Structure 1
Amino acid sequence: MPGLNPNFPRRNFHLEIEKQIKVEIEKLLAAGFIKLIKHPTWLANIVPVKKKIGVIRICTDYRDLNRACPKDEFSLPNMDILIDSTSGQGMLSFMDGFSGYNQIKMSPKDAEKTTF
């Protein structure tokens, strides 16, 4: 079954961490950012990351999914080139990846591969 790699078995967490994980997952469910499914084909472990202010942020370990995806023949452009190419433009926008979740819609057919 893809995504179920014996090299990355299901993680067990300390009871206090599990409680914090549950709270975070309930917040994501309530906000509609994630949904419950049964019998996933793919499965990824979660990685709780403790923030400086003491709260837990839930990250997902997608190493198996990354290995299974075809590699792009074209590398990402250099950030300096991207920024230089914006000179003379009226506006420049960046996504804030530091203060919270950024939800980008994905194709429904690919959503099953992001199960955790």
Structure 2
Amino acid sequence: MNTTILDMVKIEVTKLLAVGIIYPISDSHWVSLVQVVPKKYGMTVMRNQHDELVPMRIQNSWQATRKDHFPLPFVDQILEKLARKSHYYFLDGFFGYMKIYIAPEDQHKTTFICPFGTFAYTHMPFDLCNTPSTFQRCMTSIFLDLL
């Protein structure tokens, strides 16, 4: 990694450690390498070595993560509902994902490695296989009477 990207990784890891979203882990069978992918407006996203969103892992020909097929709403459906409302509020889903805790017995499955150590998530990051479905399920249950 070049020094600019290395600095970005260090800043992100330090920030996530400080707020308790990740923690150092000594060993795990579930480790992904990270890559920093530059995004528009200076935002960066960590990816693994295959440019994947750390979705599904295969072990002994069995999928370790079962895909949650919770129905996600289409943008046109949401916009149609918003058109009839006098007020609306936008929630930032990227940081909203991190409000959902990962069960302690499953945290080791989110392990990633970088030049600054090996870490696992305590909160759900945006790039896991079922993050969108899990988040949508939570939002639907919270706002069901408003939908």
Tell me the TM-score normalised to structure 1 length: 0.58
Residue-by-residue CA offset, 1:52-78 (whole Å, 9 max, x unaligned): 666x73523354533543234454231
Residue-by-residue CA offset, 1:61-113 (whole Å, 9 max, x unaligned): 3545335432344542312113323555564332235xx74423233133222
Tell me the TM-score normalised to structure 2 length: 0.49
Of residues 22-31 and 61-70 in structure 1, the stretch that sits farther from structure 2 once superposed is 61-70
- The CA RMSD over aligned residues, in Å, is 3.2
Match of residue 6 from structure 1: none
Higher strand share: 2
User: For the structure 1 residues 72 and 17, does the alpha-carbon distance in structure 2 shift closer, same or farther, using more than 3 Å as the test?
Assistant: closer
Identity %: 30
Match of residue 65 from structure 1: 55
Match of residue 95 from structure 1: 91
Counting only pairs closer than 5 Å after superposition, residues 9-20 of structure 1 correspond to structure 2 as: 13-20=1-8
The number of residue pairs the alignment matches comes to: 101
Contiguous gaps of at least 5 residues in structure 2: 58-62, 113-147
Contiguous gaps of at least 5 residues in structure 1: 1-12
Higher helix share: 2
